[in-house]
Amino acid sequence: MKRVKRLGLFLLFFLMCLGIFWVVLDIFAEYGMPWYIILAFSFFVAVALFNWHKFNPRRLL
């Protein structure tokens, strides 16, 4: 059940990022940016936001 909840939250983050970046990057799409780059960028931003609570900046030092 916890896995289903996490998957649902991730899909929510992904759809939110996809919607935001689709609107913002639609300007660049007019100049020839393909739709799958927007989709991939939204996916990676959603993964980054979803795992942000696990980020520990001390590991970078």
Segment 3-23, tens digit of pLDDT: 777 777 777 777 887 777 777
What is the Cα–Cα distance from 22 to 17, expressed in whole angstroms?
Answer: 8
Distances (CA, A) of 1 to 8, 9, 53: 11, 12, 21
pLDDT of residue 55: 61
Residue 13 domain boundaries: 2-54
> Does residue 60 form part of some domain?
no
pLDDT of residue 3: 74
Mean pLDDT value across the chain: 74
> Does residue 45 form part of some domain?
yes
Return the higher-pLDDT residue of 41 and 59. 41
Asked if residue 60 has pLDDT above 70, the reply is no
> Does residue 35 form part of some domain?
yes
> Does residue 59 form part of some domain?
no
Question: Mean pLDDT across the stretch 26-46?
Answer: 76
Count the domains in the chain. Answer: 1
> Does residue 28 form part of some domain?
yes
Enumerate residues 6+ apart whose C-beta is below 8 A from 18.
38, 39, 42, 46
